[in-house]
């Protein structure tokens, strides 16, 4: 089992940047592929980015490609989401998630592919 705690959210103007962090504790961090999802008010949770256990493979949603970067530090047991060129439509609660087993390398895009979730951090982008 792994516990996930997100941080780094906040209020930023359009065009600005934020870096989200997700600290993991518990089982060996490299046992997990990691993902970031977001959920805006009244909408379903949607995939943002995923990274495999080693950090060697990454995928992004089309809506954030070229603006967001997912990375991980397997010494610090932390996954990051660097967000640049933020838009008002990026406003949402952002969640990190961990996927074990096959999920450690499969770069899942569906919430059902992840086993553990953090509590979320709010990102608000003003126009």
* Tokens representing residue 108 in the block: 């899942």
Cβ neighbors of 25 (< 8 A, separation 6 or more) are: 2, 3, 5, 77
Instruction: Tell me the average pLDDT across 25-32.
Output: 89
pLDDT of residue 15: 98
Instruction: Tell me the average pLDDT across 31-36.
Output: 96
Nearest to 100 by CA among 18, 27, 19: 27
pLDDT digits (tens, 9 = 90+) for 39-97: 999 999 999 999 999 999 999 999 999 999 999 999 999 999 999 999 999 999 999 99
pLDDT of residue 106: 87
């Amino acid at each position: 089992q792994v516990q996930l705690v997100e941080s780094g959210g906040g209020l930023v103007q359009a065009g600005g940047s934020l870096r989200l962090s997700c600290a993991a504790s518990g089982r060996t961090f490299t046992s997990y592929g990691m993902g970031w999802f977001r959920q805006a008010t009244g909408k379903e949770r949607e995939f943002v980015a995923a990274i495999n256990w080693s950090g060697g493979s990454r995928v992004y949603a089309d809506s954030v490609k070229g603006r967001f970067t997912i990375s991980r530090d397997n010494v610090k047991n932390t996954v990051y989401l660097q967000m640049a060129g933020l838009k008002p439509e990026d406003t949402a609660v952002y969640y990190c998630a961990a996927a074990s087993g096959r999920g450690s390398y499969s770069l899942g895009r569906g919430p059902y592919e992840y086993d553990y979730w953090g509590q979320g951090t709010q990102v608000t982008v003003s126009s």
